[in-house]
Amino acid sequence: MTLNGIGSVNIPVPDLATQKAVTAFLDREIARIDKLIAKKERQVELLHNRAKQAVAELVTGATVEGMATVETGLDHIPRIPAHWSLLRAGHLFREVAEPNTDDLPVLSVSIHTGISDRQLDDEERDRKVNLIKDRSSYKCVRPGYLAYNMMRAWQGAVGVSTVDGAVSPAYVVAKPTHNLHSPYYQFLLRTPPFIEQMRQGSKGITDFRLRLYWEQFRLIMLPVPPLEEQRRIAVEAERELTHADEVAARIVRSIALLREHRAALITAAVGGQRDIPENLPAAISTSDRDRFRLVVGAEIIHQHRNNPKFGRVKLQKELYLAEAHLGISELQGNYSRQAAGPLDRALIEETESAVEAAGFYRASQADGTGTTVTYTPLSNAGQHNAELKSLLGPRAEALGGLIGLLRDFGTEAVEAIATLYAVWNDALMGGRQPDDSMIVNGVLTEWHEEKGKKFKDSDLRHWLDWMKRNGLTPRGQGPRTAHTMTRDLFA
């Protein structure tokens, strides 16, 4: 876009007080989300570090309990189980340089995961092997063969092949000469002490010029557990790393969702889609907000203990209603119109983390991601009551009434009620008096496409009638939900 083009764009300019309020709001909320993202990124790092440590203990025999050990006299592995032996790598493997006469596929090789059974695609081959047409210069690897990158062995670039394939001429390929389980040695050689041994054996004046030739690699002393023990250790090591990867992947997905929420929050705030009181930044400190989230979340979970119909979705909806209907504004949620909305992912993540850190309850998904969340009581379960009454005063009793009102309803019913409430409340804050059809239509067509798939018109009217009979009707106060489909809910 040209400078003249930019100059012709219409930019909304709210009054100065609104600009300041929006800026203060976003500064605070973005800092909160970024802090949570940083915490999750640290969790991913710790997960991988703990898994690597567990693998290192497995492959060096440090986890063998009640077993006699012997000193080795070696710095990189000072003790081993007494029934293990020690041999140089050259006694366990011999270098082979079989040319790629069968035109085998060039395998993907990673410093993090070793040799993959996946062939390089054309783009990768362009980048990594420069489309060398004569693949005979590549070295053949067979299942069980060990291979390491001479130039990156000091970084742990070593692996074991599970298929027939070819690797770069920069790799040393070694064939087992004993009856051994090669994957065990892949895990062993990727531990810090043995990576350091490969670095010390490498030749070169600087790191990027280091080369580990076979003559030096073959001298490294390696432990030799019994064959069946090698197999067992390799299986357990793979299980440790796989579990860490799966848990880390879930955390990474939650980080991506938090970043999406962050972007949606900015869009809603600067686009005037959120009601932001000018004095909101001074209304409550972050530490106080965290205390309210802790005790309100703990109360909801505690009152639903042993309730098979309770889970994370119901917790989120009751937190929203506690803020919107009961006026517990100190929760300071930022709710968006997602498929499972009203939803504030940061709020639910922080509440669950705080409840666990305080020793009240721990959230878990026994059947994996996407399944029901249950809350296991910890040593301090139920000991939040005094602080709850101190913080909420008369609102504590109202919270108990709300929880009791929704106790016997399942997740879908509570979601329907909370969504209807949000649609109705948002309309009131927008100066409208919506009738039943407008509220129901707002849920089905103006919220998120999944709502129309999940709920029927008749079901929503049933719950709307129930809300009116039980006094669960909005007054046009509290948080306004951020739009995800259209700016105006009733447009």
Task: Give the pLDDT of residue 302.
Answer: 95
pLDDT digits (tens, 9 = 90+) for 122-165: 444 444 444 455 566 889 999 999 999 888 888 888 999 988 88
3-state secondary structure of 363: strand
Mean pLDDT of 223-238: 95
pLDDT at 22 (0 to 100): 83
Exposed/middle/buried for 369, CB within 10 Å: 0-12, 13-18, 19+? exposed
pLDDT at 118 > cutoff 70: no
Range of weakest confidence among 108-117, 206-215, 337-346, 423-432: 108-117
- Which residues of the chain form CATH 1.10.287.1120? 14-83+227-277
Which CATH number applies to 85-224?
3.90.220.20
Say if residue 391's pLDDT is above 80.
Answer: yes
pLDDT > 70 in the chain, percent: 86
Which residue spans of the chain are classified as CATH 3.90.220.20? Answer: 85-224
Give every CB contact of residue 286 below 8 A, 6+ residues apart in sequence: 28, 32
Quick count: other Cβ atoms within 10 Å of Cβ 243?
13
Q: What confidence tier does 367 reach under pLDDT thresholds 50, 70, 90?
A: low
pLDDT, position 10: 67
> What DSSP string describes 407-421?
TT--HHHHHHHHHHH
The pLDDT, as a whole number, for residue 148 is 92
Query: Given this model, what pLDDT does residue 18 score?
Result: 79
Lowest-confidence segment of 27-41, 64-78, 164-178, 476-490 by average pLDDT: 476-490
Query: What's the chain's average pLDDT?
Result: 85
Task: Please report the pLDDT score of residue 413 as a whole number.
Answer: 94
Look at residue 337 and give its three-state secondary structure.
coil
Interval 244-256 mean pLDDT: 89
Tens digits of residue pLDDT in 263-281: 888 888 888 777 665 544 4
Give the DSSP letter string of 143-204. TT-EEEETTTGGGT-EEE-SSSEEE-TTEEEEEE-SS--HHHHHHHHTSHHHHHHHHHH-B-
Determine which of 26-40, 346-360, 414-428 has the lowest per-residue pLDDT on average: 26-40
Give yes or no for a contact between 226 and 83, defined as CB atoms under 8 angstroms apart: yes
Confidence (pTM): 0.57
Backbone angles phi, psi at 376, to 5 degrees: -90, 130
Give the separation between CA 279 and CA 17, rounded to whole angstroms.
Answer: 10
d(Cα 428, Cα 430) in Å, to the nearest integer? Answer: 5
Question: Which whole number is the average pLDDT over 320-334?
Answer: 92
Structure tokens belonging to residue 356: 């666990």
pLDDT of 449 > 70? The answer is: yes
Return phi, psi of residue 31, to 5°: -60, -40
Residue 204: pLDDT band (50, 70, 90) is confident
Q: With contact defined as beta carbons under 8 Å apart, do 305 and 377 qualify?
A: yes
CATH fold group of domain 14-83+227-277: Helix Hairpins (1.10.287)
Query: What integer pLDDT is reported at residue 472 of this predicted model?
Result: 94
